[in-house]
Amino acid sequence: MKTALALSLLFFTSSALAAVIGKDVSYKAGDTVMKGFLAYDDAVKAKRAGVLVVPEWWGANDYARKRARMLATEGYVALVVDMYGNGQVADNPQDAGALAGNVNKNPPLALSRFQAAEHFLAKQPNVKKGEIAALGYCFGGGVVLNMVRVGEPLKAAITYHGILATDVSVKPGSIKTKLRIFTGEADPLVPPEQVEAFRAEMDNAKADYMVVSYPGAKHTFTNREADSYAAQFGLPLKYDPAADKDSWTRTLEFLRATLNND
């Protein structure tokens, strides 16, 4: 009886100690300190695939960290990417637009900051070499797609209610990354003509991609805070639990199919 109790306590203690670790991290892009968030399951001792999480225009906030933790529970090593420097976040559309605009209008800056995060994640001792994917939300989705367009070596890239328009020209056969695009049919920020232009661009590039468009879904459909943002700032946003659940299920299936995480 005592032995069984001791074994039970040992198992409980080991299980309790094995948990998702989430920690603030710093790295540099040029002279700028970037402040991200790294999440992984410390019960997984083998090297694992890494996933970059590029946030909405609000910056590397709690929502992006939540997604990183969700990836960590699935056995990935996830890094929330700081695209603004010094961990800047915004709590209103004016500041968010200014921060996102500074990155969008400076492609070399965007590339250097994305690459800095990519290199930092790749150097983690628990990350497998060459097994890196990226998720992007809204503004972050546009960032991820532009990184794919310029040839960043990602095995998979996924965007949610991401901006699909771009000024980057893509040559046929140049996109090697496999893509999944989740968008809302009722999203005024990513209207049907933008989706169709993206499809034509990817077809011309001979890319391996899939677009999933959710009927009735609006912008920011994966974020539970969307309704609050909409009410507070008058933005055309709305959380859609069905689209959120389906896109995440498809995401995990896609990552399992494209990344070597054994």
Q: What would the pLDDT profile of 153-173 be if each residue is shown by its tens digit?
A: 999 999 999 999 999 989 999
SS3 36: strand
- Distances in Å between the Cα of 88 and the Cα atoms of 33, 96, 99, 199 are 11, 10, 9, 33
- β-strands 77-80, 209-214: how paired? unpaired
pLDDT tens figures, 210-219:
999 999 999 9
DSSP collapsed to 3 states, 172-222: CCCCCCEEEEEEECCCCCCCHHHHHHHHHHHHHHCCCEEEEEECCCCECCC
**Cα–Cα distance between 54 and 57 in angstroms, integer?**
9
Going by pLDDT thresholds of 50, 70 and 90, the confidence category of residue 18 is: low
Kindly indicate the confidence band of residue 262, based on its pLDDT and cuts at 50, 70 and 90.
confident
> Looking up tokens 């001979």, which residue turns up?
206
- Tell me if 59 sits within 8 A of 83, measured CB to CB: yes
Long-range Cβ pairs for the range 203-207 (8 Å, 24+): 204/170, 204/172, 205/170, 205/171, 205/172, 205/173, 205/174, 205/175, 206/172, 206/173, 206/175, 207/175, 207/177, 207/179
Q: Does domain 20-258 have CATH number 3.40.50.1820?
A: yes
**The pLDDT value given to residue 114:** 98
